[in-house]
Amino acid sequence: MTTAPSPPPYRSLELRTPHGPLVPVRDPDAVELTGPVFGVTDVTALDSDLTRQHTGEPIGERITVTGQVTDRQGRPVRNQLVELWQTNAAGRYAHRRDQHPAPLDPNFTGCGRCLTDDNGTYAFTTIRPGAYAWRNHDNAWRPAHLHFSFFGTAFTQRLVTQMYFPGDPLLALDPVLHSVTDEADRARLVAAYDHDLSVPEWSLGYRWDVVLDGPSATVFEGEGGVR
């Protein structure tokens, strides 16, 4: 995905990125080093299967997505909230501000969540999202992607990122993906098709593991991680 021409700049960055440096917090008693917590009252089986949240079945290619969430030492992050949001199969968000003229799916909202198990594993069943036009530049199409949020174990560990699908020709043209400047880091945002995760006559399986890289995403040498 590095052979295509450089993608155009990501326009929304221009007026929204602070000019001042981030101010380091050294207060050892900082509130941000704790919680929040989420439990079984926050998540039900309906939350992790986005194909069951309405009375009818959503349209599209059914997929299962799973992976392990670990911290920078490789320890599983247990019982943590993972949230997912995405477009429907036609590339439209179920949101009134999305005016892209692709059809809405009455049986698909595109929001899900789950808690990681004792191995730090999350799992979702959903519909493969579509590419959509987003007006960043002429003929701008975002590659199909899933938005993910991982809460970690403290407010400062919160991580929000996007998972992409392997082999998508739009990956090389996407300013959002290329705002991550390191090629290896970009590659970690692309899931792997895993035939063992495919469910016969039901869904195609993808694996995407995530490393929570700690507060402010400080990168140390030899350390893998999605930032």
Partner 1 sequence: MPTTGGPDIAPLAHPDTITLHGYVYDGAGAPVHDALLEIWQPGPDGSRAGAPGSLRRDPVTGRAAGRDGVTFTGFGRVPTDADGHWAIRTLPPGGAPYLSVALFARGLLNHLRTRAYLRDDPDDALLTTLDASRRATLLAQAGPHRTYRFDIRLQGDGETVFLEFA
- 133 forms part of the interface with partner 1 (CB under 8 A): no
Q: Interface with partner 1 includes 102 (CB under 8 A)?
A: no
Q: Please give the torsion angle defined by the CA atoms of residues 214, 219, 222 and 227, in that order, rounded to the nearest 10 degrees.
A: 70
Number of residues that bind partner 1 (CB under 8 A): 53
Q: Does the annotation count 93 as an active-site position?
A: yes
The single-letter DSSP state of residue 122 is: E
Angle at CA 107, nearest 5°, toward 106 and 109? 90
Q: Does 6 bind partner 1 (CB under 8 A)?
A: no
128 is catalytic: no
Is residue 3 part of the contact set for partner 1 (CB under 8 A)? no
Among residue numbers 177 through 196, which ones bind partner 1 (CB under 8 A)? 179-180
Among 2, 4, 9, 35, binds partner 1 (CB under 8 A): 35
Q: Distance between CA 29 and CA 157 in Å, rounded? A: 16
Residue 167 in the binding site for partner 1 (CB under 8 A): no
Least Cα distance to 215 among 87, 26, 19 occurs for 26
Among 57-65, 118-126, 150-158, 165-173, the segment contacting partner 1 (CB under 8 A): 150-158
CA 11 to chain centre: 21
Q: Give the list of residues 6+ apart from residue 193 with CB closer than 8 angstroms, or none.
A: 166, 204, 205, 206
**Considering only residues 4, 30, 192, 199, which one is a binding residue for partner 1 as defined by CB under 8 A?**
30
Q: Which of 3, 5, 20, 184 touches partner 1 (CB under 8 A)?
A: 20
| Closest C-alpha among 190, 170, 186 to residue 178 | 186
| Identity of the residue, 156 or 198, whose beta carbon is nearer to partner 1 in the bound complex | 156
**60-99 positions binding partner 1, by CB under 8 A:** 81, 83, 85, 97
Q: Report the catalytic residues.
A: 93, 132, 142, 145, 147
